[in-house]
Structure formats: structure tokens, C-alpha cells
């Protein structure tokens, strides 16, 4: 698909806007099984992201993503800050000073991000966290790429899989994060981090579609 | 929301200013950061850094001073501080002998402190960390986020702080901090919720005749909710939960902390201690020291926690060592 | 009524037991009396006795110990102790050098302590008394019961206690106690009422958006009731009332106490102190020491008081003298 | 009228009973302008009085009244304990080891009691306290005795005067005791101590009437 730094920057801006629009929704999800701040946290963090990269010319994708990471780490607070921060950090480290990324690069960046999140959060799939939308999405993306589907199709399948994973968090008893204190009582609720992660993947797909479609 | 504040968004900032203005002989602030450090510390010693969300005062800034912490990092209310803040604290107090991070076991705290640890290590600063998880209301297993860190943390500050003040190495200080963690268990209960200023409304509700047993210090759910019972019955139940997790034998020495969450008057905490002491004595356990007061609060929540720390000779010595901080003094 | 108690009729008894069990190294009880005395005091010194109704913990038993009180007499909740109790305290601590009674200005307290003073004098014990009346919410005139005694009392305990510990005579100790009283002014406010356990219901009501300015520590009415305002405005108003009664000049030295009534979290007290300090500095007044915490509470009432003590060199020295009590320590 | 110690003891028992019956009433009066414990305090005190003198044979009236005083001082608590305690103490000191009292003795005892209360409370008439029913009652008693009215008539006039004084406390701004914190807001309310004092005088009159009538 070959996205350049400027395009990636635009996608990040769109993500920030989307998070802001979903601030109350994410916060309400978190109020049900956490401490009711996920939307507030994320929106604060992505505001800082915009500030941090608005003057970045996108020449060095790796550096830009590290800036995103630092902004998230320093401003989101809570659990999701270090997790998303680590994700962007790992993605940025993988991409290094490449000036464009392909769908395969994108896959590798996501995989690095996932591994970063899992290591940081000591989490695996099925614990009712953002991992539950991210991991199936990445697996699906891999399969689609291996099947040589066209790029938009790959991304679309990835988003659908993220959505299924996200919806499935309703059926999971949380064993990580604040929701784990609820035990069985966490069943029936979506995990806010899984939702924000799905929304981010969806935004990426939609933006790439606009650029490429 | 009935609070004596100016603006919900500036409570932490104004609190820090009010604290520093109250105790300039003990504390100073790292400019532009929510980091409070000792006014004066010896040049060479292991430095102790703790922190977490605000709303638990006097924790942790109240424990910065001689014989306890070197720095406290203050997050927003009930929100972990971020790595840039924690990093600043580490840099402010590292004297070359290494830094011990004392972390309460909450996902956000653990991750933010650990990221910072990696950042500091990359800069060549020797950093170790311990994770306090004393709250037996939560089951500890590989498959959960594990027990939470609550008032028992203050014992870690006190004892590891005394060890550092003696000039021990980072490894030694970490060892004794971990020994405290291994030997301390706590459990809390709440009668009323509390309100995060920025949220403006209580974080949960309890009926006029209800209490929640095992409640966490941010209002996290406990083991169950029930009708209010006499103090003695509540205490007995809570102690049994603690003993289930950490059995005590005859002639064991313990330190007791009866910690108010803020809304509960001292009178009630003493009534609680009356029973705690009786139960321990009836088991032949020797109560070496007792601390009754507000050590780790939860905004204006009414309720209390009980912490029991099993002591050996080393822990006794360090518990009784001189300390001079705003909220904990030993002469 | 949400309280962690067993039986409303035994709260004082169980509280005393819980307190003594917590701090046997500091305190002991006079058998069969609600009197708490120092574990060990020097044989020869002027003895200080204070007391009043219960429900104000840590006052006054928390101030029994080195450099402060020798005995505290505990009445029922919000009720003056009776002369038989006070008399027992005097007998327990009199070492022949005389006894100073520190009384808060409430009709019941004053009369019960004064009757006891007469009883003790008849037995040949040298007894003097001072009456603390720091609450400027009440006008002081020959035609009223006069200003009430509130948190400023703790400064009297500290300073007179240090003087006695130095070995001063009864006359000297009384002189310095009276000097503190002449130079300390306080004012309080409340956000919520409190419930005397035996009564079972709150002693007054305040709307969700109302506060009472000048509220006493037993819920006595203040100067007025109004809508809650920002902390800074509340503080400014209260300080002005204090300055009206006790004007301060540039370069005056003062000690500040921001005292929580119990339900108000420390966070808010620091926010209050932030403004108190600013106002004093803007007047060119030098804040020599600040104490923020719960020193004289009112069961579970939310609210606070501000006390300002004008200092000279003698008062500074005595304020900073070593003290070692459960609730007030100076190293 | 010549009352002996046994008769005085019976009157004191009646006072205790009357106080107990009026416990809630007195407490409610105190709740309006004080701290709502006057009835509770007084009833607790007079229970202790009964305990203390139930085995007293009444031979030494002065001693018996001192016992009453000590029981009140040690058990009433609050302001009214020392005040009523002082009153009985002073009356007992005046009566000494007399074995019977006349109406003149009774007057002198009351006068001593009044002076004791005024000294202890630093109170004078018109401050909305028990003094406001006691002082006019004593003045009226003096006039009646001087006028050589018969004893029951003297006592009746005394009680009527106490009642007027008590009722008049409604119009007074309190300047002593807890009610003084209310300032003007104390107007319109009876003073609980003035009421208990009136009720005690009334009980004495009624009992003497039963004995003598
Ligand atoms: N250990 C973990 N590993 C992975 N994700 C986690 C972990 N703990 C929490 N999360 C994610 O973080 C989300 C909560 O984020 P947020 O509300 O911003 O933080 P906090 O819980 O500290 O308030 C959860 O919904 C979950 O998806
Ligand atoms: N200084 C005083 N002199 C005389 N009587 C007083 C004085 N102060 C209070 N009283 C009387 O005491 C009564 C209150 O008694 P009580 O309620 O038992 O005590 P408290 O006010 O300590 O709760 C008042 O109604 C008044 O008549
Ligand atoms: Mg959250
Ligand atoms: Mg949070
Ligand atoms: Mg009363
Ligand atoms: Mg009373």
C-alpha cells in the first residue's frame, strides 16, 4: 500500500479526532467495569500527540512514532498510557528510518506493537483487554497477506476480526487490569481498551481506503 | 459534591503547593513536576521513590523525609503518575548508590514505574523495584492482576527507609522491602463512597445500612456487600481473611496498623483496634507495635483497613528506627 | 447512622481500651476512671491536665506524653467530664509541684473543672487553671458565655507542656499558657453535621450546597450559613474574621494550624493551607510553623478550622521543643 | 411547715420520678437551643441520687443533701450538673445537722442554693437560665413569709412566680450557656434549665401539700 510519513501523520490525526468523538462512550464503558476514565485518558493523550507531531514533516516515520509514543506515555496516564505508548514505541523502533511502509511493514509493526503490549501488560489473549481485539486482527491480517488478497481487503478483514474479538470481550471474565477485581461480575461488559483498539484499527482502514480507494 | 476546593482540575497542583508551604523544613518540589523530595538527604545512600495517584494523603508525600522516602511522585487523583514524572523523581534523588522504586500493585502503577525503570537503566542509573500487594480481598494467582497494594505500603516505606538510612546497599534495601511485602497482609472495608473531584459524583453507591467488605482504596469492589454489623464482627471477619492468607502462630510478633480511609473518626478506629488487639492476644500473638490513624486514605471515604505485619528482629529494629517525616515520626 | 461501633453506650469505654492497647508505651489508664495518664513522667514537675467531652480525638488523650499533657480526662461524647473524674486525674499526676488545668471555654467544662479545682485545693493540692477561648465566631464580651475553645487549645498543650518539661514553676507554666491563649485565634466551618452515637441522628442539617461558617466543634451554630464557595474565598473570609479580632502587623511571626474536623480529606486541608499561607505572606506576616491535619475533630463532621498563633521568641522555642505523644511529635 | 429528713427524702424521690417523666420534654427543649441532652442528663443524675440516698435514714438532712449534690455533680455532666450540684451542696451546708426544717429554713436553703448557682455560673437574672425561675420564686417566697401567709400559700405563690419567670425566658436572649451562641435566635424558646427548676419547685409544693394538706 506504501504510505509515506505525511499520510501516516494524517491517519494519526484522524485517530485523535475519532478518540475525541468517542470520549464519552469509552469512558462509560470503563465506568461499568473500571474507573471510568479510559475515554478521558485517551483523548488527553491524543491531544498531546497532535501537539507533539503537528510540526513533524514525516520524513522519519520511526522518530515520529516514537514522539507519538512519548506523548501517550506522558499524558494518557493509567494502564492504557504505557500500553499504547509501548505499542507505538515498538512499531516505531521496527520501522526505523524507512520513508514509506508497505502492507507487510504494517503487519510487522502491528506485531511488534502487540508483543510490546503483551510483555508490558503481562497479558495474553482471553484476559479481556485490548489484546483481545488486536491479536485476532493481526492473525487475520497475516492470513490475508499470505493469501495475497488486495491491500484494502486485507485491512477490511483485519478490522472485522478486531470487531469480533472486541465483541467477544463481553463473554470473558477479566483477569487483567481493574476489571479483574470484579471477577465474574465483569461478564456482559465490553472491555474499553478492546473497543478503543478496534476503533483505532477501523480508523486506519477507513483512512487508507480514502487515500487509496 | 461537597468539597473545600477551588477548581476540580487544579486540586493536585494546589495541594502540592499547600503541602510545600506547610512543611518547607521537610519538603521541596522539583520545579514543574509533581515530584516532592526531601529537603536534605545525605549525599551517599540508596534513594527510595514511591508514588501513585493522589487522593490517598498523607501517602506518599507525607512519608518523604529522614528514615523513609526520598521522593514521592504524585499522579492525578486516583491515576498513576506518568513515566516522565517518575523519571524526574529518580534523577532528583539518585546519589549514585541506586534507587528503589516502591510500587503498589495496580496495572497502571506497575507499568508506568517499570517503563521508567527501563528508561533510567538506559541512562545508567541503578534501579530496583518492589511491588506491594497486601490486600487479601483480592485473590493472588497467576491468572489475576493479583492482590492490590494498600496501607501495608507504609510499613515498606518505614522499614526499607530505615535500612537505606543505615547505609545499606540497594540489594539489601530491596531484600528487606521484599521481606516486609512477604509478611504484610491487609484488608479494608467501606461505609461510604468517595468522589473524584473531576468526576463530580460518587464512584459507587451504598445504602444507608450497607457496607462493602474488601473495598479497595479507589473504591474497587471487595469480596461482598452486606448490612452493617457491630464493629467486633466486622473486625473478626477481616482478620480471619488475613489469617487465611498468612497464618499466625503463638508467640509470633506483629505490628498492627488500623488505617482510616479518611471519613471515619479516630474514635471508631480505636474501637476497631480494641477488638483487633483482643483477637491477636487470644491467639497468643504478641502485638509489638500498633499504629492507629490515617495513613493511606481514599479521599473522603468512610471506612478502614487493618494491616498485620509479621516481625522478626531485623524488622523490629528497622520499624523502631528514627524517622522524621510529615506524617510518620519516630523519636 | 453509619458508624463502626458496637454499642452507642460503650463507645467511650471501648475507645479508651483500644487507645491504651495501641499505645501502651505512651499511655496508661487510671483504673475505673476515664482518665488517661503518661506512662512515665519525671517525678518532679508541674503536671498538666486537660480534657473535655469525647468525640474530638486525638484531643486530648493523644496529647498526653513527653512535653505536653500529663493527663487527659474523657467525658462522654460532647459532654464535659464530671469532677470525680477530673479529681482522679489531678491526684494521679500531681507530684507536689502543682497542677495546671487547661479548660476549653464551655459552661459545662468550666464549671466542672472549677468545682474540681476547689475540691483539690481543699485537699491541699496546688491547682491553677486557664480557659482557652480562641473561636472568633463567637463574640467575646462580658455579656455572653464568651468565645469557645477549639483547636487553638493544642498550642496551649504544646507550649505549656514544653515549659513544664523544662522544670518551670506552676506560675510560669500558667503565665505561658495564658500568653498562648491571649495570642491565638481560630475559626471553623462545616460542610456536614455529625451524629452523637447515643443520639443516633445528626445534630443539625445542611443542604447539599450549603456550608456553615463559624460552626463550633459540637455543631454549635456559627455566624451564618451560605452556599458553598471556592476554598480561597472561604479562607479569606475566615482569616478576615480572625484579623478583625487579632490584628497582625508586617513581620509578625505566626504559627498556623489548619485543622480537619474529621470528614474532610487531607487533600482539601492542604488546598486550604495554600491560600492561608498566601494571604499571610501578602500581609508581610512570617509563617514560622504550619500544622495541617486532624488535631481537634468533631466526630465525622466534614469541615475545618484555621488557628493563628502570634509568636515571640519564648513561644517559638517552646513550640519547637521536643514532644513525644501519640498525636504530636517534635524530634 | 417542719419537714423531717424522711419527708425530704420522699420529696427528692418524687422529684426524681417527675424528672424521669419529663425527660423527653426537657431534652426537646434543649435540642431547640442547646445540645439536646438536658432531660437525659438530669434523669441520669437523679437515678444516681436515688441510688445514693435510698438507704439514708434521713437523720442528718445536711449530709443527705450533700449526697444528693455529689450524685448530681458526678452523674449529670454538662452545665446543669455542677449547677444543681452546687445548689444542693449549699442548701445542705446551710441546713447542717438540723433534724427538721421550717418554712424559713426552706427559704434560707433556697437562697443559699440560688447564690451558689449564680456564683458557679457567673449568671444573674435575665440571662435565660434556671436563675430566671429560681430567683423570682425566692423573692416571692420571702414576701409571702414576711406577710405571714400560711405555708402552703407561700409555697403556691412561690411556684406561680417560678412559672412566670420560666415562661418569661421565651422573651430573653440567652447570654449564658450554649444557647448564648444562638444570640437573637434563642428568642421564642423556653430555657430548659428554667423549666426543670420550675418543675422541681412545683413538685416540692405538691408533695408538701400532700403531706400537710
Ligand atoms: N495488563 C494489561 N494488559 C493489557 N491491557 C490492559 C492491561 N490492564 C489494562 N489493560 C487495558 O487498559 C484498559 C483500561 O485503560 P484505562 O481505563 O485508560 O486505564 P486504568 O485502568 O488505569 O484507568 C482496559 O480496558 C484494558 O483493555
Ligand atoms: N452559666 C450558667 N448559669 C446558670 N445556668 C446555666 C448556665 N449555663 C447553663 N445554664 C443552665 O443549664 C441548662 C442546660 O443544661 P444541660 O443541657 O444539662 O447542660 P449542657 O448545656 O452542658 O448540655 C440551661 O438551660 C441553663 O438553664
Ligand atoms: Mg480506567
Ligand atoms: Mg484510571
Ligand atoms: Mg444540654
Ligand atoms: Mg450537654
Q: Is the pLDDT score of C253 beyond 90?
A: yes
Note whether C95 and C43 are within 8 A (CB).
yes
Name the neighbours of D, counting chains with at least 3 Cβ pairs within 8 A.
C
C60 to chain B, closest Cα gap in Å: 12
Question: What is the CA(D30)–ligand 2 centre distance, in A?
Answer: 9
- The CA distance from C111 to C145, in Å, is 12
What are the pLDDT digits (tens) for A76-130? 988 999 999 999 999 999 999 999 999 999 999 999 999 999 999 999 999 999 9
Note whether B76 and A41 are within 8 A (CB).
no
Structural domains of chain C ordered from first start = 8-183 (3.40.50.10440), 185-319 (3.30.1180.20)
Q: Do chains D and B touch by CB distance (3+ pairs < 8 Å)?
A: no
Q: Which residues of C touch D86 (CB under 8 A)?
A: 115
Please count the residues of chain A. 213
Note whether C328 and B326 are within 8 A (CB).
no
Contact D120 C111 (CB under 8 A): yes
pLDDT at B143: 64
Closest ligand 1 atom to Cα of A41:
18
Contact B112 A82 (CB under 8 A): yes
What are the pLDDT digits (tens) for C18-74? 999 999 999 999 999 999 999 987 789 999 999 999 999 999 999 999 999 999 999
| CB-CB neighbours of C282 under 10 Å | 8
C-alpha cell at C13: 469505654
Q: Domain holding D148: CATH number?
A: 1.25.40.340
pLDDT at B282: 98
The three state secondary structure string of chain B is CCCCCCCHHHHHHHHHHHHHHHCCCCEEECCCCCEEEECCCCCCCCEEEEEEEECCCCCCHHHEEECCECEEEEEEECCCCCHHHHHHHHHHHCCCCCEEEEEECCHHHHHHHHHHHHHHHHCCCCEEEEEECCECCCCCCCCCCCCCCCCCHHHHHHHHHHHHHCCCCHHHHHHHHHHHHHHEEEEEEECCCCECCCCCCECCCCCCCEEEECCCCCCCCCCEEEECCCHHHHHHHHHHHHHHHCCCCCCCEEEEEEEECCCCCHHHHHHHHHHHHHHHHHCCCEEEEEEEECCCCECECCEEEEEEEEECHHHHHHHCCCEEECCCEEC
Q: How confident is the model at residue B83 (pLDDT cuts 50, 70, 90)?
A: very high
Q: Is the CB of C182 under 6 A from ligand 2?
A: no
Q: Do chains A and D touch by CB distance (3+ pairs < 8 Å)?
A: no
- The CA distance from A165 to D194, in Å, is 78
What are the pLDDT digits (tens) for A51-78? 999 999 999 999 999 999 999 999 998 8
What are the Cα distances from residue B111, in Å, to A86, A90, A113?
Answer: 10, 15, 15
- The CA distance from D76 to D87, in Å, is 13
ipTM attached to this prediction: 0.92
- The CA distance from C257 to C273, in Å, is 9
| CB-CB neighbours of B281 under 10 Å | 12
- The CA distance from A25 to A19, in Å, is 10
- The CA distance from D32 to A71, in Å, is 60
What are the pLDDT digits (tens) for B115-129? 999 999 989 999 999
Task: Write out the residues of chain C at the interface with chain D, using a CB-CB cutoff of 8 A.
Answer: 75-76, 78-84, 106-108, 111-112, 114-115, 138, 143-145, 148, 199, 203, 216, 218-221
Q: Is the pLDDT score of A182 beyond 80?
A: yes
For D61, the domain range is 3-212
Q: Nearest Cβ partner of C17 from B231, B274, B290?
A: B274
Cα distance from N-terminal residue to C-terminal residue, chain A: 11
Find the closest chain C residue to D124 by CA distance. C143
Max Cα–Cα distance, chain D, nearest Å: 48
pLDDT at C142: 62
Nearest to B79 by CA among B101, B114, B111: B111
Note whether C73 and C89 are within 8 A (CB).
yes
Peptide bond into B60 cis (omega under 30): yes
pLDDT at A35: 86
C-alpha cell at D45: 443524675
Contact C6 B57 (CB under 8 A): no
The environment of the single-atom ion ligand 3, i.e. residues with CB closer than 5 A, is A 30, 34-35, 37-38
pLDDT at D36: 86
pLDDT at B141: 67
Contact B221 A180 (CB under 8 A): no
Give the whole-number percent of chain D exceeding pLDDT 70.
100
Q: Is the CB of D38 under 6 A from ligand 2?
A: yes
Q: Which residues contact D149 (CB under 8 A, 6 or more apart)?
A: D157
Q: Which residues of A touch B143 (CB under 8 A)?
A: 175
Q: Is the CB of D75 under 6 A from ligand 2?
A: no
pLDDT at B41: 76
Q: Nearest Cβ partner of C108 from D74, D79, D182?
A: D79
For a mutational test of ligand 2's pocket, the pick from D22, D38, D189, i.e. the residue with the most ligand atoms closer than 8 A to its C-beta, is D38
C61 to chain D, closest Cα gap in Å: 19
Tell me the ligand closest to B107's alpha carbon: 1
Nearest to A9 by CA among A53, A62, A75: A53
Q: How confident is the model at residue B139 (pLDDT cuts 50, 70, 90)?
A: confident
Into how many domains does chain A fold? 1
C237 in active site: no
Ligand 1, atom 23, lies closest to the CA of A78
Q: How confident is the model at residue B199 (pLDDT cuts 50, 70, 90)?
A: confident
The DSSP secondary-structure symbol of A86 reads H
Max Cα–Cα distance, chain A, nearest Å: 48
- The CA distance from C170 to C70, in Å, is 14
What are the pLDDT digits (tens) for C206-227? 999 999 999 999 988 888 999 9
Contact C271 B14 (CB under 8 A): yes
Amino acid at each position: 500500500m506504501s504510505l509515506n510519513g505525511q499520510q501516516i501523520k494524517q491517519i494519526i490525526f484522524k485517530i485523535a479526532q475519532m478518540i475525541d468523538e468517542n470520549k464519552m462512550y469509552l469512558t462509560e464503558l470503563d465506568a461499568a467495569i473500571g474507573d471510568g476514565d479510559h475515554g478521558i485518558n485517551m483523548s488527553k493523550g491524543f491531544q498531546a500527540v497532535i501537539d507533539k507531531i503537528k510540526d513533524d514533516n514525516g520524513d522519519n516515520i520511526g522518530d515520529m512514532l516514537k514522539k507519538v509514543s512519548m506523548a501517550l506515555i506522558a499524558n494518557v496516564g493509567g494502564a492504557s498510557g504505557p500500553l499504547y505508548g509501548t505499542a507505538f514505541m515498538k512499531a516505531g523502533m521496527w520501522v526505523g528510518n524507512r520513508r514509506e511502509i508497505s502492507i507487510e511493514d504494517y503487519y510487522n509493526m502491528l506485531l511488534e506493537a502487540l508483543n510490546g503490549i503483551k510483555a508490558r501488560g503481562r497479558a495474553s489473549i482471553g484476559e479481556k483487554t485490548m489484546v483481545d481485539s488486536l491479536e485476532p486482527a493481526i492473525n487475520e491480517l497475516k492470513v490475508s497477506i499470505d493469501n495475497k488478497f488486495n491491500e484494502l481487503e486485507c485491512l477490511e478483514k483485519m478490522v472485522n476480526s478486531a470487531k469480533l474479538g472486541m465483541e467477544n470481550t463481553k463473554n470473558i471474565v477479566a483477569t487483567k487490569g481493574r476489571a479483574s477485581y470484579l471477577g465474574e461480575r465483569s461478564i456482559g461488559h465490553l472491555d474499553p481498551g478492546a473497543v478503543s483498539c478496534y476503533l483505532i484499527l477501523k480508523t486506519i482502514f477507513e483512512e487508507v481506503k480514502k487515500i487509496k480507494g | 459534591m461537597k468539597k473545600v476546593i477551588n477548581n476540580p482540575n487544579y486540586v493536585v497542583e494546589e495541594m502540592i503547593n499547600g503541602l510545600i508551604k506547610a512543611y518547607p523544613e521537610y519538603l521541596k518540589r522539583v520545579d514543574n513536576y509533581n515530584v516532592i523530595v526531601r529537603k536534605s538527604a545525605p549525599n551517599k545512600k540508596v534513594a527510595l521513590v514511591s508514588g501513585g495517584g493522589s487522593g490517598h494523603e498523607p501517602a506518599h508525600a507525607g512519608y518523604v523525609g529522614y528514615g523513609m522516602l526520598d521522593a514521592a511522585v504524585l499522579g492525578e487523583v486516583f491515576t498513576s503518575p506518568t513515566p516522565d514524572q517518575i523519571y524526574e523523581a529518580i534523577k532528583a534523588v539518585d546519589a549514585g548508590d541506586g534507587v528503589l522504586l516502591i510500587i503498589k500493585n495496580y496495572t497502571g502503577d506497575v507499568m508506568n514505574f517499570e517503563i521508567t525503570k527501563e528508561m533510567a537503566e538506559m541512562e545508567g542509573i541503578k534501579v530496583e523495584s518492589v511491588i506491594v500487594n497486601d490486600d487479601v480481598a483480592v485473590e493472588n494467582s497467576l491468572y489475576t492482576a493479583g492482590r492490590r497494594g494498600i496501607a501495608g505500603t507504609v510499613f515498606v516505606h518505614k522499614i526499607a527507609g530505615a535500612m537505606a538510612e543505615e547505609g545499606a546497599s540497594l540489594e539489601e534495601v530491596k531484600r528487606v522491602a521484599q521481606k516486609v511485602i512477604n509478611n504484610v497482609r491487609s484488608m479494608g472495608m467501606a461505609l461510604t463512597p468517595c468522589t473524584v473531584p473531576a468526576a463530580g459524583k460518587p464512584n459507587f453507591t451504598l445504602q444507608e445500612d450497607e457496607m462493602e467488605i474488601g473495598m479497595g482504596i479507589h473504591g474497587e469492589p471487595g469480596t461482598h456487600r452486606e448490612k452493617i454489623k457491630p464493629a467486633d464482627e466486622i473486625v473478626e471477619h477481616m482478620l480471619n481473611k488475613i489469617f487465611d492468607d498468612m497464618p499466625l502462630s503463638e508467640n509470633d510478633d506483629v505490628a498492627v496498623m488500623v488505617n482510616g480511609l479518611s471519613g471515619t473518626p479516630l474514635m471508631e478506629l480505636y474501637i476497631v483496634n480494641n477488638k483487633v488487639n483482643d483477637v491477636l492476644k487470644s491467639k497468643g500473638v504478641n502485638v509489638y507495635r500498633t499504629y492507629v490513624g490515617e495513613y493511606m486514605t481514599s479521599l473522603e471515604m468512610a471506612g478502614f483497613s487493618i494491616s498485620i505485619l509479621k516481625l522478626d528482629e531485623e524488622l523490629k529494629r528497622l520499624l523502631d528506627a528514627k524517622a522524621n517525616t510529615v506524617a510518620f515520626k519516630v523519636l
